[in-house]
Structure 1
Amino acid sequence: MLCTRCRIRTAVTDDGLCTFCSGTRPPPPDGAMAPVPGAESLPVPGGWGAGTWPRSPVGLSRAVIALLGCVIASDLFAIGAGLHLGSLWGELAADESLNIYTGPGLRAQELYDRAGAAQTAAFLATAVLFVIWFHRTRRNAEVFESGVQRMGPGWAVGGWFVPVANLWFPYRVASGIWEASVRLHPDGGWRTVPKTVLNLWWGGWVVSVLVSRIAVSQWDRAREPEQVSDAAALVAAADALDAVAAVLAIVFVRTVTRMQVERAGIRQTATDPERAAPGSTAP
């Protein structure tokens, strides 16, 4: 029988709760403890990675943010190259005697191809590391508050690869991460933090994906010079939206990481008040 609260683990109590939801979770092995905020690199026995204790997302978050910066740079590169190429095709539409396949036209196309390759490389590298960070924060959320999780930790990875559902499943996972990472009130009571950052990030990403698909489809169908010029402008707009989505992703990653570091600090204080230190570290 599954736990009546989290619907993930096996119920072990008379009222149908698992060890996590009932608060009877066993202590970490060998006296391991969560880290002091801002001291994720200190040699605390067990640290973030001990048993059911959270693992620090700080290092991963910094790497993800750096790669998201590369995504933004590649998008700006592609926007400039695309608009330049589109303007040349626009000139060809007005004067059909021009040759777009030699001289400036050929160089513009080569530059645009390089920009596309840079975008692909930046996106793939960022996607891999982001999913790793996302999965780690989901695992931490399981430690903080398993009862508010709507989907299992595996969906933090698999949810991105399910057609159509990938426009919704990762958001459900992220929502559970957000709720579990919120710092509690000093008296231990539940505190609700608006999901504005989460919603803006997810909305920006979904809009960017949809517009990008439309733009690529129009680019592939373009045959006449005017059509190519219009398609290049739409692709540039999609790249601009992608850059905005990347900025929102940076804000989301920083916010969730900071909340988890703070939440881990509360666990440290509750376990060993003498080792707790004021302040926290966020990327």
Structure 2
Amino acid sequence: MNAHTPTTTSSLRPVRTAARCATVTLALAGIAWGVRAIWEVRLALAGVPASGPPDQGNGQHRPLTALEDSYHLVGSLGDVAVVLCAIAFLMWLFRVRDNAQIRSGRPPQLAWPWVYLGWIIPIVNLWMPRGIVADVHRAIAPGERLPRAVNWWWGLWLVAFWCGAGLAVSESRDDTINRAYTGVKWLLAGDAATVAAAVAGIFVVRAITDAQQRRVNG
């Protein structure tokens, strides 16, 4: 095994740049969701306009107020940040996953399409992404305890999903505005959990990257 270590190490894919990109975009996504929360508080304080919610029912929509229109803009910018974050995080995950396979000499427990599909298939997306990250860590640092940040990251993500972030994926932004008018507490709980999950995600990226780097340098 020692005779092959130089060749194995030289075949590892660089991961530091991918880790920095993932970290930066996670921070941007967290900031974007924090700004979204501020706008939801503003909507809640303003209250439902005399003309009623944006979605009037039966397919009828009234013109948006200036505040509602600005929330649409804030939400769209947040969506862009989340897409960039997802791309950067998956690129990083693929790299550390490939390197983990090279270092351990064994294939990952799940085939590569699940790195994508695990996030979008219902029920499966409640556990598989965490499992993929945990599998990478086991391959990189066998015998070491899984970093606590992984469990914090995934637990906070699940809280965000159930409190509001997950619901927001399947509803229109006008529906979200109406929820801000009528029940902002759950939205804000989801926003807070999303921001916290983004911060925990930064620690996950750093912990996994550092563990891999220690094995390379060692």
For Structure 1 versus Structure 2, the TM-score category normalised by the shorter chain is: 0.7 to 0.9
TM-score normalized by structure 2?
0.80
Q: Does 1:151 align with 2:103?
A: no
Q: RCO (CA 8 Å, sep 6+): is it higher in 1 or 2?
A: 2
Could you tell me which runs of 5 or more consecutive residues in structure 1 were left unpaired when the two chains were aligned.
1-22, 35-46, 183-189, 267-283
2:88 corresponds in structure 1 to 129
1:248 corresponds in structure 2 to 200
Q: Does 1:220 align with 2:188?
A: no
2:40 corresponds in structure 1 to 82
Cα distance in structure 1, aligned partners of 2:52 and 2:117:
48
2:217 corresponds in structure 1 to 265
Task: State whether residues 150 and 176 of structure 1, in contact with CA within 8 Å, keep that contact through their aligned partners in structure 2.
Answer: yes
Cα distance in structure 2, aligned partners of 1:143 and 1:175:
16
TM-score normalized by structure 1?
0.63
1:239 corresponds in structure 2 to 191
Q: Compared with structure 1, are the counterparts of its residues 134 and 228 closer, same or farther at alpha carbon in structure 2 (3 Å cutoff)? A: closer
Q: Does 1:200 align with 2:200?
A: no
How far off is 1:213 after superposition? 2.9
Task: State whether residues 82 and 233 of structure 1, in contact with CA within 8 Å, keep that contact through their aligned partners in structure 2.
Answer: no
Cα distance in structure 2, aligned partners of 1:251 and 1:221:
30
How far off is 1:222 after superposition? 8.3
Residues 175-223 of structure 1 show CA distances to partners (whole Å, capped at 9, x for unaligned) of 11111222xxxxxxx5422442211111111221222234676973986
Task: State whether residues 148 and 176 of structure 1, in contact with CA within 8 Å, keep that contact through their aligned partners in structure 2.
Answer: no
What amino acid maps onto 2:198 in structure 1?
Answer: A
Task: State whether residues 89 and 229 of structure 1, in contact with CA within 8 Å, keep that contact through their aligned partners in structure 2.
Answer: yes
Rg comparison, structure with higher value = 1
Instruction: Tell me which of 32, 53, 59 is aligned to 2:17.
Output: 59
Task: State whether residues 19 and 205 of structure 2, in contact with CA within 8 Å, keep that contact through their aligned partners in structure 1.
Answer: yes
Cα distance in structure 1, aligned partners of 2:104 and 2:182:
50
Size of the aligned set, in residue pairs, is 206
User: RMSD value over aligned CA atoms?
Assistant: 3.1
How far off is 1:233 after superposition? 3.8
How far off is 1:107 after superposition? 2.0
What is the aligned-residue identity percentage?
Answer: 21
Cα distance in structure 1, aligned partners of 2:116 and 2:53:
44
1:3 corresponds in structure 2 to none
Q: Compared with structure 1, are the counterparts of its residues 240 and 222 closer, same or farther at alpha carbon in structure 2 (3 Å cutoff)? A: closer
2:79 corresponds in structure 1 to 120
How far off is 1:167 after superposition? 1.7
Q: Compared with structure 1, are the counterparts of its residues 243 and 228 closer, same or farther at alpha carbon in structure 2 (3 Å cutoff)? A: closer
Instruction: Tell me which of 61, 68, 71 is aligned to 1:109.
Output: 68
1:140 corresponds in structure 2 to 99
Q: Compared with structure 1, are the counterparts of its residues 207 and 148 closer, same or farther at alpha carbon in structure 2 (3 Å cutoff)? A: farther
Higher fraction of helix:
2
1:68 aligned counterpart, secondary structure: helix
How far off is 1:241 after superposition? 1.3
